[in-house]
Chains A and B, each alone.
Chain A
Amino acid sequence: MKMSPAMPASIPDSRTLPGPRATLGVDRPMPLDSGGTLGPFTVAYQTYGRLNAERSNAVMICHALTGDQYMVGPNPVTGKPGWWETMVGPGKVFDTHRFFVICTNVLGGCLGTTGPRDIDPATGRRYGLDFPVITVGDMVRAQALLLDHLGIPDLFCVAGGSMGAMQALQWPVSYPGRVFSALPIAGAARHSAQNIAFHEVGRQAIMADPDWCGGRYEDMGRRPTRGLAVARMAAHITYLSEAALHRKFGRTLQDRERLSFGFDADFQVESYLRHQGSTFVDRFDANSYLYITRAMDYFDLAAEHGGSLARAFQGTKTRFCVVSFTSDWLFPTRESREVVRALNAAAANVSFVEIETDKGHDAFLLDEPEFNKTLTGFLAGAAEHRGLRP
């Protein structure tokens, strides 16, 4: 793998990135699930569309593990199109003529919201591993504080895929009166043992990199790019289906006629994964990766409610639409069904659709017509019940 060993180019200083940011937890630090507190801290976010006079059309979209607040338009770090450009915009599923769409960089992230890369006001040094371990509940709490800051009483909808789905489920549980509808996509009510295991492989790869330096790498002028790249490569496999990998690459060789009988990237799939790893390190912080994967591992909505998921949703007035994908083995349909079962047990208003696709977990990022139709229909139905003008 070709990666420069010493002094690799750093990811951009988040303070130079475009977009609004709010300083929260100033008067009173935000309580964390770990028992600690955080504050003051920053939440960087993007908004699309306009908040209506009734303040009733706000949609919170929650990004996945390595996503960010830049859903639309060229990403300021990578220059690539926004991760949900297909879904958010005028006339799109999340129609910005109709909805005021908000996306925050999650707590613990590295694109503007406070995370381990930022300076700890208590010490004047980067947090590193002194950053408190955060949870999905804490991420959502920070988003709720942002809503308070923006003067938005409640959300018309909270939506997200993967870790975004965890937040979309956490929201109506944490703030039952503040969420009219929720759209958890390719998610689960808890992180499975298999998923924790994959995350642990990623974390170990990072921490085994000598450039990680116990999390103090930036103070030493180093970055654990090799470890982070390996973590990304392992994780990336889990986002695709076997069928999609086969369709895309099969056993095709990369720029060569025959096997090299060495450990070069003979196969296209190897070359693809190496590319995924090496580009990832230019946009993501290794410590953020540790913290956010940990938050996902800790996610278990039922555990907070005596082991009963139905109890978590008891009395909820939120309209849910749960979506899964047939070929997603990271967050399989079975997990979504568990959520639906619990919502039924709570006599909640719920729709559940499994979308047929061979594109695996990442299908939620792709343009799938059936998926778009489902979301559009659900949002239209919810908007009608909310009395939102088209």
Chain B
Amino acid sequence: MSAAESRRANGARLDLRVVAGLVQPGTRVLDVGCGDGALLELLAREKRVDGRGIELSQAGVHASVARGLSVIQGDADTDLADFPDGAFDHVILSQTLQAVRNPREVLLHMLRIGGQAIVSFPNFGAWRARFYMLTRGRMPVGEVLGEAWYATPSIHPCSIADFLDLCRELDVAIEHGVALGRDGSEEPVGDGRRANLRAELAIFALRRR
């Protein structure tokens, strides 16, 4: 079983559980790249949120709307600009940051339209990825990218260290940083040094200063 599969094995993906844990009950939530709406459904059920989603794939949108969720077919890179400032309490980007054309702009829009931006992404700095590159000299297929370099939707993979640099550059406050290990272990990101080597996935909650 691959890492991705084991993450999905226990009902909701583990990172979705962590993301859901950061969401306050009864809030307005926008899930950018909501897939088939699994997280939105979880949040609606357990947190009674007023949820909306944006999803690029037609199949994902159909599945979400057929579940009774409010989801639009759209593109994070272009369609976040339509939303007014502060329209949501949380704007979530779950394992989608690495797939957008302009992650920096997407992040800025999220911080503009939401009080808090919650971002999760696979950590390209994990030792397995480094070891793979070091020993094979090839992109770490299956470890982070999931698919061959030419087929993966992950066009902007980053490490936790890279992400922390961007947060510093954008001068955003990090309210939470959670590092998830391959075995499902969960620890704070802290200064990022240990997490950048060990974590397979990272989840951050950010806010404008």
B67 contacts A by Cβ under 8 Å: yes
Name the residue on A nearest B87 (C-beta): A347
Contact present for B82 and A341 (CB under 8 Å): yes
Contact present for B70 and A349 (CB under 8 Å): yes
Contact of B70 among A319, A341, A354 (CB under 8 A): A319
Q: Which of chain A's residues have a CB closer than 8 A to the CB of B61?
A: 351-353
Contact present for A352 and B72 (CB under 8 Å): yes
Q: Given A344-B83, A345-B82, A347-B83: A381 and B69 within 8 A (CB)? A: yes
Name the residue on A nearest B51 (C-beta): A349
Q: Quick one: CB contact mask for A364-375 with B, threshold 8 Å, 1 for yes?
A: 000000100110
A377 to B37, CA, bound (A): 13
A380 contacts B by Cβ under 8 Å: yes
Q: Which of chain A's residues have a CB closer than 8 A to the CB of B87?
A: 347
Give chain A nearest CB distance to B53 CB in angstroms.
9
Give chain A nearest CB distance to B58 CB in angstroms.
7
Q: Which of chain B's residues have a CB closer than 8 A to the CB of A373?
A: 62, 66
Name the residue on B nearest A333 (C-beta): B73
Give chain B nearest CB distance to A216 CB in angstroms.
49
Q: Which of chain A's residues have a CB closer than 8 A to the CB of B64?
A: 351
Query: Which residues from 329 to 377 on chain A have a C-beta closer than 8 Å to any C-beta of chain B?
Result: 340-341, 344-347, 349-354, 356, 370, 373-374, 376-377
Interface residues on A, range: 20 to 34
A378 contacts B by Cβ under 8 Å: yes
Q: Which of chain B's residues have a CB closer than 8 A to the CB of A322?
A: 72
Contact present for A354 and B73 (CB under 8 Å): yes
A384 to B41, CA, bound (A): 13
A321 contacts B by Cβ under 8 Å: yes
Q: Given A344-B83, A347-B87, A349-B52: A377 and B73 within 8 A (CB)? A: no
| Chain B interface SS verdict (over half) | mixed
Contact of A345 among B62, B71, B73, B84 (CB under 8 A): B84
B147 contacts A by Cβ under 8 Å: no
Q: Quick one: CB contact mask for B131-167 with A, threshold 8 Å, 1 for yes?
A: 0000000000000000000000000000000000000
Q: Which of chain A's residues have a CB closer than 8 A to the CB of B50?
A: 349
Contact present for B71 and A351 (CB under 8 Å): yes
Interface residues on B, range: 20 to 34
Query: Which residues from 280 to 333 on chain A have a C-beta closer than 8 Å to any C-beta of chain B?
Result: 319, 321-322
Query: Which residues from 170 to 220 on chain A have a C-beta closer than 8 Å to any C-beta of chain B?
Result: none
Contact present for A380 and B68 (CB under 8 Å): yes
Contact of A351 among B58, B72, B83, B84 (CB under 8 A): B72
Give chain A nearest CB distance to B40 CB in angstroms.
11
B181 contacts A by Cβ under 8 Å: no
Contact present for A374 and B68 (CB under 8 Å): no
A65 to B86, CA, bound (A): 40
Give chain A nearest CB distance to B42 CB in angstroms.
15
Give chain A nearest CB distance to B45 CB in angstroms.
11
Q: Which of chain A's residues have a CB closer than 8 A to the CB of B173?
A: none
Contact present for B72 and A340 (CB under 8 Å): yes
B74 contacts A by Cβ under 8 Å: yes
Contact of B65 among A340, A341, A346, A377 (CB under 8 A): A377
Query: Which residues from 24 to 48 on chain A have a C-beta closer than 8 Å to any C-beta of chain B?
Result: none
Q: Which of chain A's residues have a CB closer than 8 A to the CB of B52?
A: 349-350
A242 to B65, CA, bound (A): 29
Give chain B nearest CB distance to A246 CB in angstroms.
24
Contact present for A344 and B82 (CB under 8 Å): yes
Name the residue on A nearest B113 (C-beta): A347
Q: Which of chain B's residues have a CB closer than 8 A to the CB of A374?
A: 62, 65-66
Q: Which of chain A's residues have a CB closer than 8 A to the CB of B82?
A: 341, 344-345
Q: A347-B87, A376-B66 are in contact. List 10 more A-B contacts (CB 8 A).
A: A344-B82, A345-B83, A351-B70, A351-B71, A352-B71, A353-B62, A354-B58, A374-B62, A380-B68, A381-B67
Query: Which residues from 82 to 107 on chain B have a C-beta closer than 8 Å to any C-beta of chain A?
Result: 82-84, 87
A334 to B121, CA, bound (A): 32
Q: Given A345-B84, A354-B73: A321 and B65 within 8 A (CB)? A: yes
B79 contacts A by Cβ under 8 Å: yes
Name the residue on A nearest B37 (C-beta): A377
A377 to B41, CA, bound (A): 13
Name the residue on B nearest A345 (C-beta): B82
Contact present for B79 and A351 (CB under 8 Å): no
A219 to B64, CA, bound (A): 56
A376 to B70, CA, bound (A): 13
Name the residue on B nearest A341 (C-beta): B82
Q: Which of chain B's residues have a CB closer than 8 A to the CB of A345?
A: 82-84
Which 8 pairs of residues, A with B, have the shortest CB-CB distance? A381-B68, A377-B66, A352-B72, A347-B87, A344-B82, A341-B82, A373-B66, A351-B65
Contact present for B70 and A353 (CB under 8 Å): no
A345 to B58, CA, bound (A): 22
A322 to B82, CA, bound (A): 16
Contact present for A351 and B62 (CB under 8 Å): no
Q: Name, among B66, B69, B84, the residue most crowded by chain A CB atoms within 10 Å (CB to CB).
A: B66
Contact present for A381 and B70 (CB under 8 Å): yes
A321 to B70, CA, bound (A): 8
Q: Which of chain A's residues have a CB closer than 8 A to the CB of B67?
A: 377, 381
Contact present for B73 and A353 (CB under 8 Å): yes
Contact present for B83 and A356 (CB under 8 Å): no
